[in-house]
Amino acid sequence: MKTSNAGVELIAQFEGVRLKAYDDGVGVWTIGYGHTGGDVHPGLAITMKRARDLLRQDLAKSENEVNTTIKRPLNQSQFDALVSLVFNTGALPLRSTLGSCLNNSDFRGASNEFPKWCKATKNGQLITLEGLVRRRKAEKAMFDARSTSDVPAHWLNTSEKAWVTRYDALDDAGKGNSPEAHALQEKMRRQRKSIWRLAQPKAKGGDGNGWHFRHRIERYRSLKARTT
């Protein structure tokens, strides 16, 4: 199996994107959704379409882990959720209780394992990271969905989803610099700024609900990725 468009979108929003090559801090040149390798060098710039293509290329290892480790049939949404998890954590979940549940057809048990993979080591201590809590929640929702059509970009409102869908179609067709694409970018840029303002504390002019209200952080990232 391969990751669906809905699965790629889910992963992309949590990975974040950079369209110009950057040093990751330890001398590794990186671009797109965390892509590294001999093809990345200082000064390299890519399009959003190329970033998505590289992400799909980089997902192959995680897809292979799921395809070879899980012996029971999976539907597309289950497969996508597992690829997202493995791409983020490595294959350990598939070799732990989650994988054991799947190989014994205990899908409810497997679903309940997702929230447990939200810790990371910081300053020598194992702590829960809010970003991982949100990601596991989104992956669990995808795993539990009947089909990927129930979940793609579910955090976007109707207008945002229409802008993103149309802009991506133009970019895929090589028309990312067309007048229509620029007009869509301007709408997304204004919306992104509106989300940022509302997410600020009341003392700074926001509404006090913060970034996690109505998926603001995921919506902001989706729009920023297309307006950078």
**pLDDT for 1-24, tens place per residue?**
999 888 898 899 888 889 999 998
Q: Cα(6)–Cα(142) distance, rounded to whole angstroms?
A: 9
Q: Are residues 97 and 24 in the same domain?
A: yes
* Domain stops at, among 116, 134, 150: 150
135-149 residue pLDDT tens:
999 999 999 986 655
Same domain as 101, residue 24: yes
47 shares its domain with 117: yes
Model pTM?
0.71
- Residue 153 binned pLDDT confidence (cut-offs 50, 70, 90): low
HSE-CB of 215 using CA atoms within 13 angstroms? 17
Q: Write out the two tokens for 15.
A: 């990975």
Q: What was the pLDDT predicted at 148?
A: 52
Question: Which residues does residue 35 pair with via DSSP β-bridges, in sequence order?
Answer: 31
Q: Is residue 202 located within the same domain as residue 107?
A: no
Best-predicted range by mean pLDDT among 106-115, 151-160, 212-221? Answer: 106-115
**Do 190 and 221 share a domain, yes or no?**
yes
Q: What is the pLDDT of residue 150?
A: 45
Same domain, 132 and 176: no
Domain termination site, one of 115, 130, 150: 150
Report the alpha-carbon distance of residue 33 to residue 55 in Å, rounded: 6
Query: Does 199 share its domain with 144?
Result: no
Measured in degrees and rounded to the nearest 5, phi and psi for residue 31 equal -155, 165
From first CA to last CA, the distance across the chain in angstroms is: 32
Phi then psi for residue 119, to 5 deg, are -115, 155
| Residue 151 reports pLDDT greater than 60 | no
- Are 204 and 198 spatial neighbours (Cβ–Cβ below 8 Å)? no
The span from the CA of 222 to the CA of 228, in Å, is 11
Domain membership of residue 94 as a residue range: 5-150
Q: Same structural domain for residues 146 and 177?
A: no
Q: How far apart are CA 68 and CA 147, in angstroms?
A: 22
Q: What is the pLDDT of residues 55-94, one digit of tens each?
A: 999 999 999 999 999 999 999 999 999 999 999 999 999 9
Same domain for 164 and 103: no
Q: Is 139 a residue of the active site?
A: no
Give 199's pLDDT tier (boundaries 50, 70, 90): very high
CA distance 27 to 86: 25
Whether 92 and 22 map to the same domain: the answer is: yes
In this structure, are 41 and 133 located in the same domain? yes
Domains contained in the chain, number = 2
- Domain boundary residue, one of 106, 123, 150: 150
The CATH number that applies at residue 40 is: 1.10.530.40
- At 161, the amino acid letter reads K
Phi, psi of 95 (to 5 degrees): -100, 10
From the candidates 15, 63, 113, 160, give the one annotated as an active-site residue. 15
Are 142 and 180 found together in one domain? no
